[in-house]
Structure formats: C-alpha cells, structure tokens
Structure 1
C-alpha cells in the first residue's frame, strides 16, 4: 500500500482500510480547470464525486493570479456545456473567426507565402477566447450547484492505494474511500510522484510573456500566429469592454534573457516591440493595459497514465509548448475520453478502478497527446530558427496547405476537437 499527501511528502503512517470511511465513486485531486470540469461532468452523470484542492476556490478568481486567456476549441466547448460550466460564464466570449499564420522576423514584413484560415474552413467559429478569471468563476459556480459533488477546498488529502480501493484521509479529519482517484494537480503532480510514474521533461530555455493590449481598430475575431526566430508570437482577440472596446491578448515566447528584458520595458517601448511583431496585422495604434506575466516554458510527458486505482489527467499527464495554444484543450480531451469510459462502466455496475478499464483510457488518450506534443515540439524547432533553407521549406509548406481546401478543413476539424 502507498500513502502520501497532496504535497508529495512521505506520510508518517499507513492509511489502512477504515470501515467508517464514507464512500464516493471517484476522488479527484486538484480543482483546476481540468479537475473541476471532470468533477462536474461525472457528477452530472450521476456519480458521487469528491473533489479536493489545497486552495480556497474564491481566491482563485483573483485576476492578478493568472493573466491567461484560453482558446477553447469547439469540442472543449461542447464538453464544458455538458458539464454545466459553459452556461455559468459571467461575461461574453469572443469567437475566433479567422486565423492568420505568418513567418518572418521582428520589424520586417512577413513572408508572402503564408496560411489563412477563414469561414470557408469551418462550419462556425474555430474556437472561443475565454479569460482565465471568467472560466474560474464559471467553474466555481458550477461546482457549488452540481448535485452529487462533494467539494473540500481548502483541504489536503493523504492517499493510500491498494488492490481494492483508495482511502483518502483529509487534514480536516474526514476519511473517504473510492474505487478510483484522478490526479489533476498540474505539472508537479504529487500523486504521480507518489506512485513513481516517470516523467520526461523538454526544456526550451524560453519564457512566455503574457499581456493584454487595447488597439485602435477592431480585430473582427481575427487571430494572428507569427512564427519568429526567437519564438512564436500570437495576438488573440478578446471581447471588448466599455472602457476598451478593442482588446487582444498577447502570448509571446522569447529566449529567457530577452524575455526578462522585454518584461521590464516601459509601456511605450513594450508597445513598440509588440507592434514590430504583428506581421502586417493592421489593428492600428496599440497600448498595453493591466499587468504583465512571465512564465518559463517547457514540455513534459508521463511515461504512463495509470497506476493501481489511479489515473492522470491534464497537465499531470502532459504539458505542451504553447505554440499552438492546445494545452488546456488537450486536458479537456482527456476528460472526454475518461468520462465516456467511466459513464459506461458506472451504468453497467463495473468497478471504476479496474486495471483493464484504466488501460483503455491510456490507449485512448496517450497516443493523441503524444502526437500533439510531438507536433508542438516540431513546430517550435522548425519555425524557431533563422536557417535560410528551413525558411524556404516551411514557407513553401504553408503556401501549399493554403491551396488545399480539403486538407485545411481536415486540419481545422482536428484542431477543433471534432
């Protein structure tokens, strides 16, 4: 039997079988977007779900904690809707109606060989931009109104796994028992470390810069992905506000030293650096608003997604380079795969922690995630350099794809999670 707490420190005693433990169908450790959405989805299917997090949920709504905005794919949006989360969003979302892909250098006109995705490539928006705080507020609202969901946050759990069940002893004094636990705590997953699942990490020696800008001209739902030698630059459309009707999110990867220097620039100089990377995307005069964030960038993947009575989901299982903006969507795909298997097993009275069932989840989720990780890593290495021969080859590839409508539509459907 293995025991641990959510911090990943060795437990002082074994958490053995306890006849007084309350029973649930699933215990999810981590109430981030993946864990919280999975909890809501499983509870709406009729399961009794215990959701734990070390942090108090209202505190997660502080916009100063997270400046990100998520590009939610259509497949993810449908899943959020089924989980009762999408309808709880406190404000409007911004549809992405067009995506411009460019290759170039800062301050120069991009290559004329480019790639544009428009309404002809999809039967609706490519995705929706949702600010992190709005998604957090929606999750918190859904968690408090979903029947069958038991929320313990803030609290810490000590987990003990054996062949029959998982026992969870909370710091608050409660003891629970479940046939299955889900690790959804993020990249530094304590449960993954506890069961000694190896992780392979890919450092990029880059940092991501995140900020919001207001600009003179409307974006019309248009997004830009500009590949640059130091790393990709993206401008993503955001819904407007009364004060700032035209807003966009900036997600910008640079080498670590350069990123730290850009992070500390005055607003007017920072705005000029952003304008130099827009690659012909005409949004007029721009101005940074609010604070900036800087994050180290890396990718990682777990060697397996299962252990005795445990599965990994979201960043606990995989972490992607943000070059394609698919990190959260990859986690939501895990939810779709896992929830589908668990619902069928639950309705048939099957053991939800059965090893063969968990292996089915790994076979569904891991190959797709590994392909996405390889694609993001390959794109970063292909476009993140200034080799003249590679520039010619990749620009020709973008141009060729631009002339293949059927292939473009197939590519878009995959990115939309359909």
Structure 2
C-alpha cells in the first residue's frame, strides 16, 4: 500500500513474487478505461466473503460464523461467537503494571455496545468493514480486512482507552480438538497444555509469546497472530489474546491513550508447520515498504535479493553491520525441530566467512565458494556468521 501517489489518494496491490531481503519494481499505469480484475470479495454490514472464507456477523459486530471454504469446515465452535472483546476487573495484589492474578476472570463483561458498522472498501484486492464500539468512557474502532490473495483475516484496532484496572482481551472459541497449544518465543516455540489438570498448569494461566499462538488437530489448525501483543491464554479450546492492561501503579494514567495494533486469525491445513504460520506472522509484522519513483534510468536490476537460504524451515532473522568492523552479520535460526544442511547465497562474491557467537566473538572459519557457503544447523539452533565482501 502507498498513499502518496501523485493525483491519487492511495494504491493497494498484492505484491506477488517479491524478493526476500530485497526489492522488486512494479510499474503503475493509468488505465484508459475502468478495469475490474477477478475477485470473489463480497462485503456488507453482516457478511464478508472471499475465496477463502465466508464470515457472518451479529448485530454486535461479533463473528457468528467463519466458514473455511478451502478446507470445507467451520472455524468456530457451534453456537459460539468469535472476535469477542472481553473486559475484566484487574486488581492484582502487588505490582499492578506487571502482575495478572488468576482471579481476574471472576468479573468479565463482553463489549457489545455498537455505535456503527459500515463498509469501507469493496475493491478487488481487499474488503474492509469498520465496527465502532463503546465501553464505559472508551471507544474501540476496528477495521476487519479480508483479502483476495491472502488466507488471513486481519483486525486493525484503534482504541481510545480511558479506563483503569481493566484488562482487555479478545476471544476466539475454535472447533479444534487439541490438548496442547504452541506459542512462538524468540528463535523458536514452546508448547503448553490447554487444560488445568495440575497445579503447574493452573499457575500458567497466561503465556508470554511473540508473534503467534496456534491450536492444531490432525490435519487442521488455527493460528492467532499479532503485531505487538505478548500475552495469550488458550484454555478449553478458546484462544484469547491480551490487548490492554490499564494499571494505576506506578503510573496512574498508564494506558490511558490511543492504542493502534493488529491481530489476525489464520486458519490453515495441517499444523502450524504445514500451514507456514511462522512466515505468515513475519508477513504481518514485517510488511513491504513501498517507495514511489518516477521513470528514470538506473543501473540496478528490477528485482534484487540481498541473500537467501535454500531451506524453508530456516529463517534469516538479522542482517546488520558488525559491532567492531565493516563486515556484515547474518543471524539465522531453525524453527521446525529439524537438522538441515543449508546453503546461504548472497548478492556478491565473498572474501571471508567466520562463524560467531551472539556477542560476535569468532568461533571458526567457514568454507565458501563464490557468493555462497554451506553449513549444518541443529533443531532450534541459532547460527551467526560474520561475512566480509
């Protein structure tokens, strides 16, 4: 998306086959006549539909049905609603801004006071529906996006929060049979039970996580993604994400401001590995940057990639300048519990490659050939290389 085109408000497009860690040039031309591309997006105040989903809303803006067309099944539990905003009284014994006590769940209110539901976009690339809600002195604006080419439902939120000691969550009761959920942590993931059968389970009622949490059964799963929220709880197959915590200590006005963030529902075939949940979460958190240029000559190619790896389960997490030299640091990790022989290819000839630790202390030299080198990576291992050109 770009909002600064001359003589145009905005352009929205699906950037297909873009280069990893690089760029791709797309040419925008003014059409002589209006041209409608092929799209299955249909949207009104009560229903949103594309080639992936058929989503129905009730009068309160909650989802009463989310049918997955590709996998021919309902995502939500029977007769239960999704994208339900839940407010809880949050008064921990100590450390108000840090702690959540388990008894917060004893007082809960669903936020159902709707001020307005309106259609914002019905274009060929995406459709958008805006839901505005009121809770006490706060207002919640949510734009729900569905896409023609992305099998994901995005919920873009703008919340003007005025409350104190109220915890805000969103809930999705999903039709998945699983006794464990998977959560992303830095450079990996962890599993936690979806029940409280032991005192250990009971104590872990909130799980700190990064970009996603997933609940999968044999052959199908649902991931809940986010761009800036790090508290989940999944119990009795209800997936919840913590959105706001308005503490009064040490700052009495904490969180009393405008909050903007995104979370997404991503149903998929197979488990989180088969469904590429990790990459979908990266796509949400690291969108492409659009740069508009007029026609001009240049020496750069129309498509360029700084570097790439040949294994799907290895992520290039960091590319940066070394702390004490002009060399380039590349940090990678494996996220599917696999051992792999990996080839890393760069954009130009290499002069030297040294494996380092996280502090960039040198460990050993790596053999290379031309603009690439090979290495072995263990399950969930982090690898750091210092590269000289």
Query: Which of the pair is proportionally richer in helix?
Result: 1
TM-score normalised by the shorter chain: which range applies?
under 0.3
Q: Which has the higher contact order (CA 8 A, sep 6+)?
A: 1
* TM-score normalised to structure 2 length: 0.23
- Which has more strand, going by share of residues? 2
Task: Decide which structure has the larger Cα Rg and report it.
Answer: 2
The two structures have a TM-score, normalised by structure 1, of 0.21
